[in-house]
Amino acid sequence: MLALIRLASVGLLALVACSKANPVPPPTFWYNDLMRQAGIQGPVRFRVRLDSVGSPELTTFQIVATPNTAFTIAVRNGLREWRDPSRAGRMLEQTVLFILMDTAATDSIARCRTSGGEWAVCGRGSRTTTLY
């Protein structure tokens, strides 16, 4: 099942993939306005241990890879209120894709489609710079 969420106040779209095996939606991540305006996008890989009820133990939060350290704040803040009881007590390693679309969002579905279990955060921008 795919869900497309539009947050009109910031021109942000998030496409999330939820499978029957894991029906818990991903956290809400915010695309930093300065990062969006600068056209910076890319994948952020992180790991965090989940406690006995499936809430992230933020003291164990680690960034594995990121194109820009400013994405770290967005990921950490998104995890604060999120919980996945089905993964309680386990280490979660996950990728969040920060993706910029053109200003008209004509490429929104094509650019925001993920290839697997990634979580996507899509924002509108005028120019893009992909960092790997």
Using a 10 angstrom Cβ sphere, with 0-12 exposed, 13-18 middle and 19 or more buried, the burial of residue 79 is buried
Q: What is the DSSP letter of 118?
A: -
Tell me which of 3.40.50.300, 3.60.70.12, 3.10.20.30, 3.30.2420.10 is the CATH number of domain 2-130: 3.30.2420.10
Decide: helix, strand or coil at residue 44: strand
How many CA within 13 A on the CB side of residue 110? 5
Reduced to 3 states (helix: H, G, I; strand: E, B; else coil), residue 3 is strand
pLDDT per position in the chain (132 positions), as tens?
A: 444 444 433 444 444 444 455 578 999 999 988 898 888 999 999 999 999 999 999 999 999 999 999 999 999 999 999 999 999 999 999 999 998 887 665 655 566 766 678 898 888 775 545 555
Copy the structure tokens of residue 83.
């919980």
Say what the pLDDT of residue 22 is: 59
pLDDT at 11: 42
Pairing of strands 129-130, 119-124: unpaired
How large is the greatest C-alpha to C-alpha distance in the chain, in angstroms? 43
Residue with tokens 């890989």: 45
- Asked whether the beta carbons of 63 and 76 are under 8 A apart, the reply is no
What pLDDT does 105 receive?
55
